[in-house]
Amino acid sequence: MAKVRLGLVGKPNAGKSTLFSAITARAAEIGNYPFTTIKPNIGLGFIEAKCPETEIGTKCNPREGSCSGGIRRIPVEIIDVPGLIEGASLGKGMGNEFLENVRESEALLLVFDASGKTGLDGTPVEDKIDPEAEIEMVKSEIARWMSSRLSRGWERFASREEATNQHPTTSLLRKLSISGINEQALLSALTSEGFPLRLSMWKEEDFFRFSEMFLARFKPIVLVGNKVDAADPDTIQRIRVKHPDAIFTSGDFELALSRAAQAGLASVSGKTVSPAENATGPQKKALARIQEVISLPFYASPEAIMTGVVRDRLERIAVYPVQDESKWADGQGNVLPDCYMVRKGTTALDLAFRVHSEIGEGFIKAIDCRRRMVISKDHELNDSDVISIISRSR
C-alpha cells in the first residue's frame, strides 16, 4: 500500500536529522558538523485520525500502523535528504546525489535554522545570519536541480515527443519521471503562466520558470523553522509575517521529550509535560524549559507538522476500503485492515484502481458502508468513508 512520502530538505546543520529522529523515533546519526547524513535516512512517522471502529463496536485489525482507543495511527514515509549547500544542483558537496529523493517526495519540509547560528554551508558563525537567506538558497537549489534535469537533452527530446503527438504535459512529467500529477491541472498552469505548448519553442528561461511554478503548485514546500528554542523572538515574528504558513519547532527538545518519556522521567499529553517523581532537579529544570517553549502558540509538535502537511497542504483524506459491507472487513475477517490517504476529489473508481488495477478494471459498483447505499464510479469520497468495492475480479 503506497504511503504518502515527505522529504526533509535543508542546509547542513539545520537540525534535520534530529527532527527526523524525533518524528520517526528511529536513531539517525547526529553530529555538529556538515554532511552528518551520508546516505538518505528513511523512516515512518504517523498522523492520527478517528477510527471508524468506534461506530461498529468491533476492534479493527490495521495491516499497517496501529489503533488504540479509537485513534488510528496512519503511517507516512519520511526521508531525510542530506544537507544542501549553494551549488548542490551543479554537483557541489553531496547534495546532487540526493536531490533525486526530492523528486519522489509529495511535499518537501524545508527545515531551516531559525536561530541563525549556522552559515549557509552549515558551519557555526559568530554573527547570526538571516534565516531568509537560507530559505531562498535551498529553494533555489531545488529549482535549479529540477531545471537542469528538465533542460538536459531538450532539443532531441522535444523533437521526438512532437513527432509522436504526445500531449506536452504527458511528455514533461515523463521527462521528470514524476507520476501522480493531475495532467489537466498541469495544462491549466502551463496555459495561465504563458508557457509555449509546443516543446520545441521553449527557451532557456522557461526551464527555471517552469521548475519554480511546478514546485509552488504541485510539490508544496513547507517551511519548518527548527531550533526555535534558541531563536530570537523578533526574528521569528519577522518570518511569521513574511511566511504566514511557516511552522516552528525544536527537534532537540522533541527528541529530549521522547527520550525522557522512554526513560520514565516524564509523561507528555499534548503540550503538557509532567515530570516523574524520580526525575532529578536538573532534569525537572530542563523539562520546565521544554514546557515553556512547546507552549508557545505558534509551536508545532512533529505530529502536528505531519498532520498539517498531509491533511491541509496535500489535502488528503482517509478512506477505508473493505470487502464485507456489513462487518467492514476483508475476506479473511480483518476489520478495517487498510486506510488510504487519498487526494480530495478521489472517486470510487479511483479507489478501486488504488487498491489493485484488476479491481479497477473489473469495477461494477461501490457501496458506502456507513449509509448502506450504492454509489457510482464517479462519486467523490469523503473523509473517513468506509467503501466496499464490487468488482468482477473478486
Return the CATH number at 369: 3.10.20.30
Question: What's the DSSP call for residue 117?
Answer: -
Q: Which amino acid is at 38?
A: I
Domain count of the chain? 2
Q: Which pLDDT score, from 0 to 100, does residue 90 have?
A: 60
Q: Which pLDDT score, from 0 to 100, does residue 351 have?
A: 97
Q: Are residues 308 and 374 in the same domain?
A: no
- Angle CA(302)–CA(81)–CA(223) in degrees, nearest 5? 50
Q: Which pLDDT score, from 0 to 100, does residue 35 have?
A: 46
Q: Are residues 343 and 304 in the same domain?
A: no
- Angle CA(246)–CA(345)–CA(78) in degrees, nearest 5? 45
Tell me how far apart the terminal alpha carbons of the chain are, to the nearest angstrom. Answer: 19
pTM (2 d.p.): 0.88
The string of DSSP codes covering 266-319 is: EEEETTEEEE-TT--HHHHHHHHHHHHHHTSTTB--HHHHHHIIIIIIS-EEEE
Q: Which pLDDT score, from 0 to 100, does residue 199 have?
A: 94
What is the extent of the structural domain holding 369?
A: 316-391
Nearest by Cα to 128 from 17, 54, 238, 289 = 238
Q: In the numeric block, which cell numbers belong to residue 290?
A: 521544554
Q: Are residues 334 and 307 in the same domain?
A: no
Q: Are residues 129 and 10 in the same domain?
A: yes
Residue 235 belongs to domain with CATH number: 1.10.8.470
Residue 121 contacts residue 113 (beta carbons within 8 Å): no
Q: Can you give the C-alpha Rg of the chain in angstroms?
A: 23
Is 360 contained in some domain?
A: yes
Q: Are residues 87 and 236 in the same domain?
A: yes
Q: Which pLDDT score, from 0 to 100, does residue 232 have?
A: 93
Q: Are residues 200 and 336 in the same domain?
A: no
pLDDT tens for the chain, 394 residues long, are 678 999 999 988 899 989 999 988 644 444 444 444 445 678 889 898 999 999 999 999 999 999 999 999 999 999 888 777 666 556 555 445 556 677 778 999 999 999 999 988 888 888 888 999 999 999 988 888 889 888 989 999 999 999 988 888 989 988 888 767 888 889 999 999 999 989 999 999 999 999 999 988 888 899 999 999 999 999 999 999 999 999 999 999 999 999 999 999 999 888 999 999 999 999 999 999 999 999 999 999 998 999 999 999 999 999 999 999 999 999 999 999 999 999 999 999 999 999 999 999 999 999 999 999 999 999 999 999 999 999 997 6
> Which residues are 272's β-sheet partners?
269
Residue reference for cell 530542563: 286
